[in-house]
Amino acid sequence: MRIAMIGTGYVGLVSGVCFSDFGHDVICVDKNPAKIEMLERGEVPIFEPGLDALLARNVDAGRLTFTTDLAKAVKGADAVFIAVGTPTRRGDGHADLSYVMAAAEEIAHAMDGYTVVVTKSTVPVGTNRQVQEVIRGAKPDAEFDVASNPEFLREGAAIDDFMRPDRVVVGVQSDRAADVMSEIYRPLFLRDFPIVTTDLESAEMIKYAANAFLAVKITFVNEIARLCEQVGADIKQVSKGIGLDGRIGNKFLHAGPGYGGSCFPKDTRAFARTGQEHAAPLQLVETVIKVNDEVKRRMIDKVMDLCGGSVNGKTVAVLGVTFKPNTDDMREAPSLTIVPALVGGGAKVRVVDPQGRREGEALLPGVHWCDDPYEAAEKADVVVILTEWNEFRALDLKRMAERMETPRMADLRNVYSSADVKEAGFTAYAAVGRRDDLTL
């Protein structure tokens, strides 16, 4: 199959590379010439484990190319995927669909035969119908179908998620479009991965409902963690106890500083807005958004409490600023709330992150970047674990404590235990959801 992928952001690039590895001929399109030149050199503009090697393999095989010329890519394509950004729109919290609609109009003018136009971007219910109207309005005689094919990729594990998915969701209106999509995903079908074929609206809804449900799980366990601190329970034990119930499951039950990233924050806001517009308010989702913001502020309080109520004049070492490990993505990361609050409170903040510096330098002004956690901890008053990178899971705690001015730790990912840090020489420790760990 010949595939054009419009947009080389996270979703577009990963999807395009993986489709080419299926054996399809893929052309990835982006308006940014610098990004296309980088990709043509074999350089990947995002950090995703294994993506650079997979890209190089398919470029060498002649199945994967890059261009700024959308018309060239769309001409003769069997399917054109729209994988552009849908950021939160200012003012009302809804998804900004201007990039999607602009791409649809350009695609319409470039099509030269039957084409399936596939929305890969995360979009509210009804968007694919709008894409259809835009294309029909721009080219009334166009022969095409519109399909919805939402992505379910976890940053840091995206290639495995694409190649071994829990399910593939495809929303279509015709058998002809369904046949094209089946051929595109044929390698997964042959290996018995579930392909869920629905109407357009159901496919759009599945994506938002799935993300909202996971955001609910994260927020629920953070609410329970707060109560655990008050009653003396241990959130790790509670999470394990409820997660072993097959109806609940153990994923997304890890207490911490709240969810972030490119999906959950904007998707929950857009989903809540959709409910309001259709007189079916999603009260649970609206509450999740509110509580998640409160969770981040509670993390600031934990650090403040460790420092006697104020960080003014204190040196704080922050380990990790990306929203999760194994990615360089800073979008909506808890660090973007917590670190500025520490700087604003008068702290001297040192930051170390294996991949976050490229984006973080612009997003976190007023901090000092370090190369390793021990450098960051030198003469520090408190160390804060904010992202659970593997590099921070096996620290030499004694070495770190000896370097600090006052060895105190705010472990906002529950990586360690009070016994670990006490034996290493720390004098104060705060975790999430474990009251007996608040003071040593």
Active site residues: 263
According to the annotation, is 236 in a ligand binding site? no
Neighbour tally for 86: CB within 10 Å: 23
Rounded to a whole number of angstroms, the distance between the first and last alpha carbons of the chain is 62
Q: Known binder of ligand: residue 9? A: no
The contacts found for 19-26 with CB under 8 angstroms, 24 or more apart, are: 19/184, 20/58, 20/61, 20/63, 20/64, 21/54, 21/57, 21/58, 21/63, 21/163, 22/184, 22/186, 22/187, 23/63, 23/187, 24/63, 24/184, 25/1, 25/63, 26/58, 26/63, 26/64, 26/65
- Is 439 marked as binding a ligand? no
Q: What are phi and psi of 316, to 5 degrees?
A: -115, 125
Question: Cα–Cα distances in Å, from 252 out to 73, 218, 308, 343, 404?
Answer: 39, 6, 32, 30, 33
Among candidates 85, 57, 60, 72, which has minimal Cα distance to 27?
A: 72
Is residue 289 classed as helix, strand or coil in its secondary structure? Answer: helix
Instruction: Consult the annotation and say whether 426 binds a ligand.
Output: no
122 annotated ligand-binding residue: yes
240 is in an annotated binding site: no
Q: Report CA torsion sign: 163, 166, 171, 174.
A: positive
Does 154 count as an annotated binding residue? yes
- Please give the Cα distance from 221 to 264 (Å, whole number): 16
Residue 256 annotated as part of some ligand binding site: yes
86 is in an annotated binding site: yes
* Annotated binding residue 66: no
Residue 223 known to bind ligand: no
217 annotated to a ligand binding site: no
Residue 212 assigned to a binding site: no
324 is in an annotated binding site: yes
**Alpha-helical segments (H) within 391-432:** 397-403, 418-424
The answer to whether the annotation marks 294 as part of a ligand binding site is: no
The annotated binding site for NAD(+) is made up of: 30, 35, 86, 122, 155, 266, 331
Q: Residues at the annotated binding site for substrate?
A: 152-155, 207, 252-256, 260, 324
Give the residue numbers of the binding site. 30, 35, 86, 122, 152-155, 207, 252-256, 260, 266, 324, 331
